[in-house]
Amino acid sequence: MSTRTPLMAGNWKMNLNHLEAIAHVQKLAFALTDKDYDAVEVAVLVPFTDLRSVQTLVDGDKLKIKYGAQDLSAHDSGAYTGEISGAMLSKLKCSYVAVGHSERRQYHAETDEVCNAKVKAAFQHGLTPILCVGEELEVREAGNAVAHTLTQVEGGLKDVPAEQAETIVIAYEPVWAIGTGKVCGAEDAQEVCAAIRGKLAELYSQELADKVRIQYGGSVKGGNVAEIMAQADIDGALVGGASLDADEFVKIIRFRDQ
């Protein structure tokens, strides 16, 4: 049986200002119990402008909710207007940072090379990257979902040493299932997640592959999370829309009760 602790991460995307963020995290914290935290790791990936507020709340109330950002710069510092470095996120005690979310790849032209540089920057600053991968609809329809996704995994991990790679989180998010209400069938998601684990074994070792947490993302809700989490190679969810509703996100965290 897997010893991987499930990671349920809410990606708020560009939602909730710093005041709304406090209210939302307080609501989550009020609902969650030690039993929840013993079974599942809970994280929120928030807009940069929310980080300080969330940090203050988490620190002040000694909350067990982890937090992080949705992107970081590949650079450490310098003339990169509008960018936020890994060092800055680390200073705010972020645990996680998403890298290569499909919305970054699509709207900001992030390539596998850029994602690879960001994965390295995250590790360099003590952050755990959540590397997002997944195919567009036409790629799936052409039968190339696995090959496409594995290319992204390999590209994102290029020259990343094993001692870092073993702590990465990979989120498999088929682009056509994001925010559309169309969930990837649990068996289809398992097929790709198993292939990702196989690729990690090929690139590193089976022992390392067995340690890495692989999330599924794409229209996850309380009503479908149990079936997704029942798959052998799925170790959590990266949740967009449903994470903005505290009650729904709590249901996802309590997937064993659904």
Ligand X SMILES: O=C[C@H](O)COP(=O)(O)O
Task: Provide the binding-site residues for ligand X, judged by CB under 6 A.
Answer: 11, 101, 173, 178-179, 217-220, 238-242
> What is the nearest approach in angstroms of ligand X to the Cβ of residue 218?
5
Instruction: Tell me whether residue 12 or residue 123 sits nearer to ligand X (CB atom).
Output: 12
> What is the nearest approach in angstroms of ligand X to the Cβ of residue 102?
7
Give me 67's structure tokens.
């937090």
What are the backbone angles phi and psi of residue 10, rounded to the nearest 5°? -95, 120
11 is in an annotated binding site: yes
Instruction: Tell me whether residue 51 or residue 208 sits nearer to ligand X (CB atom).
Output: 51
185 is in an annotated binding site: no
78 is in an annotated binding site: no
> What is the nearest approach in angstroms of ligand X to the Cβ of residue 9?
8
Instruction: Tell me whether residue 161 or residue 179 sits nearer to ligand X (CB atom).
Output: 179
From the list 41, 110, 135, 173, the catalytic residue is 173
Alpha-carbon gap, residue 44 to 11, rounded angstroms: 6
Instruction: Tell me whether residue 220 or residue 250 sits nearer to ligand X (CB atom).
Output: 220
62 is in an annotated binding site: no
Residue nearest to ligand X (CB): 240
Closest CA to 235 of 169, 183, 177: 169
Annotated active-site residue 173? The verdict is yes
> What is the nearest approach in angstroms of ligand X to the Cβ of residue 242?
6
Alpha-carbon gap, residue 234 to 138, rounded angstroms: 24
241 is in an annotated binding site: yes
What are the backbone angles phi and psi of residue 152, rounded to the nearest 5°? -65, -40
Instruction: Tell me whether residue 208 or residue 241 sits nearer to ligand X (CB atom).
Output: 241
From the list 41, 101, 125, 135, the catalytic residue is 101
> What is the nearest approach in angstroms of ligand X to the Cβ of residue 241?
3
Spatial CB neighbours of 171, under 8 Å, sequence gap ≥ 6:
9, 98, 130, 131, 132, 133, 134, 214, 215, 216, 217, 238
126 is in an annotated binding site: no
Annotated binding site: 11-13, 179, 219, 240-241
- Residues marked active site are found at 101, 173
Annotated binding site for substrate: 11-13, 179, 219, 240-241
